[in-house]
Amino acid sequence: MEWGMKNRLAQLIKQDGRALFLPIDHGYFQGPTKRLEEPEKTIEPLLQYCDALFVTRGVLRAAIDPNNTKPIILRVSGGTSMVGKDLANEGITTSIEEALRLNASAVGISIFVGSDYEHQTLLNLARLVDEAERYGIPVMAVTAVGKELEKRSARYLALCCRIAAEIGARVVKTYWCDDGFEKVVRGCPVPVVMAGGPQVETEFEVFRFIHDGIQKGAIGVNLGRNIWQNDFPVAMIKAIRAIIHENATPEEARDLFESMKHEPLVSKA
Ligand code: 5RP
């Protein structure tokens, strides 16, 4: 592996082999969704606790100080919306030159396996890998399910992750599942990070699945709404960080969350 590729991956995946990516990219198809109306306000208190931020170029330019040194994963696919015909009908929205200009550490793209746009989105991934590898930029493939959340079975997720890795993704984002998640990770020859999906009922559920997924081989998360839509997002990201980087149990994470949720926010400055 070339130095540039190795160095960028080392920025994203910490020395313990784990990673906490914070996605704030949802506006690219959801618009100003709940608690992401003003992305800079969502990002500012959380930035110091993540290992990398997953954003579009629009949010990067508008909401992130260029003096930022936190690695950026640039979302480079899109072209659909919540009110359009099919969320899966994505194309590549951002060139590799733009990713270089914006000093991205990686680029991220969705694939929609099993959808009417499977072929198109897999070829998008292939093209992006060809272009990004030329410059030593890792590609994170986002195995997306669109509105069909029920698709999150181990068999389906394993299929998506393996295909993404075979095409050349350096990291794959998928969903945790209750039954057989270890098979999803085992069948994927590159690191797997887990998304959270829509906000769930309790924080403990989130801590439990992240902990379980890591025991089964995931290296961490690319998890958004269950952090920044929580009433206590800083306590939430710190508790998740403890699971990922300090091997906290779900119970320890819950105790941390409870003890931190009313702490006043301390600005990084
Ligand atoms: C949205 C995405 C997100 O990056 C991914 O789904 C993780 O976010 P969440 O935990 O909120 O599901 O790809 O398009």
With beta carbons less than 8 A apart as the criterion, state whether 250 and 208 touch. yes
Secondary structure (DSSP) of 125-174 = HHHHHHHHHHTT--EEEEE--TT-GGG--HHHHHHHHHHHHHHT-SEEEE
The 10 Å Cβ neighbour count of residue 163 is: 19
Active-site annotation holder among 6, 147, 173, 261: 173
Q: Give yes or no for residue 25 CB within 6 A of ligand 1.
A: yes
- Say how far apart CA 73 and CA 19 lie, in whole Å: 13
Pocket test for ligand 1, best of 33, 125, 142 (most atoms within 8 A of CB): 142
CA nearest ligand 1 atom 5, residue: 195
Q: How far is the CA of 54 from the centre of ligand 1 (A)?
A: 9
Q: How far is the CA of 26 from the centre of ligand 1 (A)?
A: 7
Atom of ligand 1 nearest to the CA of 173: 5
**Is residue 238 annotated as part of the catalytic site, yes or no?**
no
pLDDT in tens, 11-61: 999 999 999 999 999 999 999 999 999 999 999 999 999 999 999 999 999
Average pLDDT over the chain, rounded to an integer: 95
Name the token pair of 35.
């608690």
CA nearest ligand 1 atom 14, residue: 26
Using the predicted structure, report yes or no on whether residue 194 has a pLDDT greater than 60.
Answer: yes
With beta carbons less than 8 A apart as the criterion, state whether 165 and 194 touch. no
Q: How far is the CA of 236 from the centre of ligand 1 (A)?
A: 16
Using the predicted structure, report yes or no on whether residue 268 has a pLDDT greater than 70.
Answer: no
Domains and CATH numbers, the chain: 3-260 (3.20.20.70)
What's the whole-model pTM score? 0.96
CA nearest ligand 1 atom 13, residue: 142
Beta strands 192-195 and 220-222 are: parallel
Q: How far is the CA of 73 from the centre of ligand 1 (A)?
A: 13
Q: How far is the CA of 187 from the centre of ligand 1 (A)?
A: 22
- pLDDT band with cut points at 50, 70 and 90 for residue 264: confident
pLDDT in tens, 160-182: 999 999 999 999 999 999 999 99
Pocket test for ligand 1, best of 21, 26, 228 (most atoms within 8 A of CB): 26
- Say how far apart CA 109 and CA 147 lie, in whole Å: 17
Q: Give yes or no for residue 146 CB within 6 A of ligand 1.
A: no
In angstroms, the Cα distances linking 115 to 45, 64, 119, 126, 261 are 37, 34, 9, 17, 40
Q: Give yes or no for residue 224 CB within 6 A of ligand 1.
A: yes
pLDDT in tens, 109-157: 999 999 999 999 999 999 999 999 999 999 999 999 877 777 789 999 9
pLDDT in tens, 76-103: 999 999 999 999 999 999 999 999 999 9
With beta carbons less than 8 A apart as the criterion, state whether 190 and 170 touch. yes
Using the predicted structure, report yes or no on whether residue 267 has a pLDDT greater than 60.
Answer: no
Atom of ligand 1 nearest to the CA of 54: 4
Atom of ligand 1 nearest to the CA of 142: 13
